[in-house]
Structure 1
């Protein structure tokens, strides 16, 4: 398992979520009179509202993916540590050091 790849994926998702947080779709929304047409203004407002909901869900899902990737990395690291300890225990039996290990 390439733990660095998992770490990079989690970091990349976090960076994307941070970038998304600085630019909101509502920033392109404008007062209705700026569009010069009532129905166009309403359509744009509706689009922005729906888009913000979608982005909010995407950000929530992305944060969960990041958390799960980080949890996987920690789980793999813990498992590797336990395996190393077990192997060391096998190699260093009660009769002394394993002569084949050197």
Structure 2
């Protein structure tokens, strides 16, 4: 077992892409597109009840989509932060190695 932690950047990218794909599907299929007028339902009271239900359902979908956008944003920010940290660490190691191998340089002197 490794000490510390590791981050699977590919998994974070895939999760963000998956959330984004779901959000795209949700945006293409509107709850309001479900026929719910009395001519489609055949009964005025049932149509009214269905309309009320669809209205509440739509609010729920909107709230879930809003939360999904926040999740996607945070996943993307995490990927970017970890990628930058990895690049910075790599650059630091390369620079340290260059200082240690420079002709006549004493790596212990700063």
TM-score bracket relative to the smaller structure = 0.7 to 0.9
Q: What RMSD in Å do the two structures reach over aligned CA positions?
A: 1.7
How far does residue 40 in structure 1 lie from its aligned partner after superposition? Answer: 1.2
Paired position in structure 2 for 1:15: 21
2:71 is aligned, of 48, 65, 73, to 65
- 1:7 and 1:94 map into 2 onto residues whose CA distance is 36
How far does residue 22 in structure 1 lie from its aligned partner after superposition? Answer: 1.0
* Higher normalized helix content (fraction of residues): 1
- 1:72 and 1:95 map into 2 onto residues whose CA distance is 35
How far does residue 43 in structure 1 lie from its aligned partner after superposition? Answer: 1.1
Paired position in structure 2 for 1:86: 92
Q: Which runs of 5+ in 2 are unaligned?
A: 1-6, 104-110
Instruction: Give the secondary structure class of the aligned counterpart of 1:92.
Output: helix
Paired position in structure 2 for 1:32: 38
- 1:47 and 1:37 map into 2 onto residues whose CA distance is 15
TM-score (norm 1): 0.85
- 2:35 and 2:17 map into 1 onto residues whose CA distance is 31
Query: Runs in 1 of length 4+ with deviation above 4 angstroms?
Result: none
- 1:95 and 1:8 map into 2 onto residues whose CA distance is 40
Say if 2:20 and 2:72, in contact at 8 Å, map to a contact too.
yes
Say if 1:29 and 1:45, in contact at 8 Å, map to a contact too.
no
2:52 aligned with 1:53: no
Q: Which runs of 5+ in 1 are unaligned?
A: 98-102
Aligned length: 97
